[in-house]
Structure 1
Amino acid sequence: MKEPIVIQNKLREAMGHLEKRFMEREELIRVLLLAIMSGEHLLLVGPPGSAKSQLARAAADLFGQEPYFDYLLTRFTTPDELFGPVSLQKLKNDEYIRLTEGYLPSARFAFLDEIFKANSAILNSLLSVLNERIFFNGRHKQISPLLFLMAASNELPEDNEQLAALYDRFLFRFEVEYVKQISSFELMFQAPTTPVPALLATDMVKQVNQQAADVQLPESLIYMLFQLKTALEEQEYVLSDRRWHKIGHTWKISAAIHGRSAVNVWDTVLTPHLLWDFPEDLVDIRTIFDTLFQDMLKREMEQELPLLTYNLTVKKWLDKEDELHAFQFKKEIGGALNKDAAERLKATTEECRTELEETARSLRGRLVSWQEKEKKLPEWIASQSIFLQHPDQYAVKFTHLRIQGERILQTIQGLYRTLFDREIPGIVYDYTL
Structure 2
Amino acid sequence: MKEPIAVQNKLREAMGHLEKRFMEREELIRVLLLAMMSGENVLLVGPPGSAKSQLARATAELFGNEPFFDYLLTRFTTPDELFGPVSLQKLKQDEYVRLTDGYLPGARFAFLDEIFKANSAILNSLLSVLNERVFFNGRNKQATPLLFLMAASNELPEDNEQLAALYDRFLFRYEVEYVKQIASFELMFSAPSSPIPALLSTDLVKQIKSQATDVILPEPIIYMMFQLKNALEEKEYVLSDRRWNKIGHAWKISAAIHGRSIVNVWDTVLTPHMLWDFPEDLVELKEVFSTLFQEMLKKEMEQELPLQQFNLTVRKWLEKEDELHAFQFKKEVGGALSKEASERMKVALEDCRTELEETARSLRGRLISWQEKEKKLPDWIASQSVFLQYPEQYAVKFTHLRIQGERILQSVQGLYRTLFDREIPGIVYDYTL
- TM-score bracket relative to the smaller structure: over 0.9
3-state SS of the aligned residue for 1:63? Answer: coil
Equivalence for 2:339: 339
3-state SS of the aligned residue for 1:204? Answer: helix
Residue 205 (1) aligns with residue 197 (2): no
String of CA shifts for 1:80-134, please: whole Å, max 9, x gaps: 1100111111111111111111000000000000000001110000000011111
1:195 deviates by 1.9
CA distance in structure 1 between the aligned counterparts of 2:327 and 2:282, rounded to whole angstroms: 54
1:385 deviates by 0.6
Structural mapping, 1:95-106, within 5 Å: 95-106=95-106
Equivalence for 1:186: 186
CA distance in structure 1 between the aligned counterparts of 2:61 and 2:205, rounded to whole angstroms: 15
Equivalence for 1:399: 399
Structural mapping, 1:70-149, within 5 Å: 70-149=70-149
Equivalence for 2:277: 277
String of CA shifts for 1:171-222, please: whole Å, max 9, x gaps: 0000000000000000000001122111100000000000001111111100
1:322 deviates by 1.1
> Residue type matched to 1:389 in 2?
Q
String of CA shifts for 1:371-419, please: whole Å, max 9, x gaps: 1111111111111111010011000000000000000000011111111
> Residue type matched to 2:6 in 1?
V
Equivalence for 2:306: 306
4+ runs deviating over 3 angstroms: none
Structural mapping, 1:3-402, within 5 Å: 3-402=3-402
Identity %: 84
CA distance in structure 1 between the aligned counterparts of 2:285 and 2:264, rounded to whole angstroms: 20
What is the RMSD of the two structures over their aligned residues, measured on CA atoms? Answer: 0.6
Number of aligned residue pairs: 433
Equivalence for 1:432: 432
> Residue type matched to 2:124 in 1?
N
> Residue type matched to 1:191 in 2?
A
CA distance in structure 1 between the aligned counterparts of 2:77 and 2:412, rounded to whole angstroms: 71
CA distance in structure 1 between the aligned counterparts of 2:373 and 2:70, rounded to whole angstroms: 48
CA distance in structure 2 between the aligned counterparts of 1:38 and 1:322, rounded to whole angstroms: 57
CA distance in structure 2 between the aligned counterparts of 1:123 and 1:167, rounded to whole angstroms: 11
3-state SS of the aligned residue for 1:302? Answer: coil
1:307 deviates by 0.4
3-state SS of the aligned residue for 2:323? Answer: helix
CA distance in structure 2 between the aligned counterparts of 1:45 and 1:6, rounded to whole angstroms: 33
Task: Select between 86-95 and 181-190 the one with higher mean Cα deviation.
Answer: 86-95
3-state SS of the aligned residue for 2:239? Answer: coil
String of CA shifts for 1:302-349, please: whole Å, max 9, x gaps: 111110110111111111111111111111111101111111111001
CA distance in structure 2 between the aligned counterparts of 1:273 and 1:314, rounded to whole angstroms: 39
Equivalence for 2:418: 418
3-state SS of the aligned residue for 2:340? Answer: helix
1:3 deviates by 1.1
Gaps spanning 5+ residues in structure 1: where?
none
1:28 deviates by 0.2
TM-score (norm 2): 0.99
3-state SS of the aligned residue for 1:405? Answer: helix
TM-score (norm 1): 0.99
1:2 deviates by 1.1
Gaps spanning 5+ residues in structure 2: where?
none
